[in-house]
Amino acid sequence: MGQIWVGEDGPDAAFERLDLGTLNPGHPCVAQGRVYFVADGAGTVANVFSCALDGADLQQHTCHRLHYARQLSTDGQSLVYQCAGEIHLLPVGPGLPVGDIGTVAAPASEKLSIPWYGPQAQLRERFVDALDFLQDYWVHPAGHSLSVMCRGRVFEMPLWEGPATDCTPIGSQVQCATESA
């Protein structure tokens, strides 16, 4: 069970544990005189909560029902966290008293749209030259289709239009194949 300890900075500082009831807090951060943290409690997924520096005035700021809020952080003016692979921005401000979530709408967090400029060359489809891997081929006796064995797989394709069809069962490879009419 997580705990949050609050105290003054210095060599003789005394710290006190915040009483958060059944909440299991994590990732605490302080913004505008309140301690914000992610917690799961009462059988729910983790959401963003806050309390005063003395542990009083516990408030809930988000109401995620399917995915946990994680990795809460702040710059002192706003909060940012991750939920279900999305980055959310939550302004620092009043929440709802714990217990009111579900009966009243929680303050809304904003999903941030972050463009991804990853290595495009690695995300592209790659096509190999089939001729380098051609093992065998058969022309249908009527001349309307072709079967090809390439890289241990058999493909059948019409000669004039339509896609190639993979005839090899999933998870297997072919070493020798013959065309039957």
Domain that holds residue 13: 5-111
Residue 130 has φ and ψ, to the nearest 5°, of -60, -30
- On whether residue 81 sits in a domain, the answer given is yes
pLDDT above 60 (res 7): yes
Q: How does pLDDT run across 70-100, given as a tens digit for each residue?
A: 999 999 888 999 998 899 998 887 766 665 5
- On whether residue 117 sits in a domain, the answer given is no
What count of Cα atoms within 13 Å lies in the side-chain half-sphere of residue 90? Answer: 33
Q: How does pLDDT run across 103-155, given as a tens digit for each residue?
A: 555 566 788 888 877 777 766 777 778 788 888 888 989 989 998 888 888 88
Which residues have CB under 8 Å from 177's CB, separation 6+?
Answer: 136, 147, 149, 154
Q: 80 and 27: one domain?
A: yes
Q: 60 and 92: one domain?
A: yes
Model pLDDT, residue 89: 92
Q: Is 179 helix (H, G, I), strand (E, B) or coil?
A: coil
Model pLDDT, residue 179: 55
- On whether residue 120 sits in a domain, the answer given is no
* pTM for this entry: 0.59
Q: How does pLDDT run across 56-72, given as a tens digit for each residue?
A: 888 888 888 888 999 99
Alpha-carbon Rg for the chain in angstroms: 30
Q: 44 and 89: one domain?
A: yes
pLDDT above 70 (res 15): yes
Model pLDDT, residue 181: 47
pLDDT above 60 (res 38): yes
Mean pLDDT on 35-41: 88
Model pLDDT, residue 81: 94
The pair of structure tokens assigned to 144 is: 């309307």
Q: How does pLDDT run across 160-175, given as a tens digit for each residue?
A: 888 888 888 776 666 6
The number of distinct structural domains making up the chain is 2
Model pLDDT, residue 88: 92
Nearest CA to 34 among 68, 69, 59?
59
Using an 8 Å Cβ cutoff, are 79 and 93 in contact?
Answer: no
Specify the length of the chain in residues: 181
- On whether residue 121 sits in a domain, the answer given is no
- On whether residue 60 sits in a domain, the answer given is yes
Nearest CA to 48 among 115, 109, 119, 134?
109
Model pLDDT, residue 80: 94
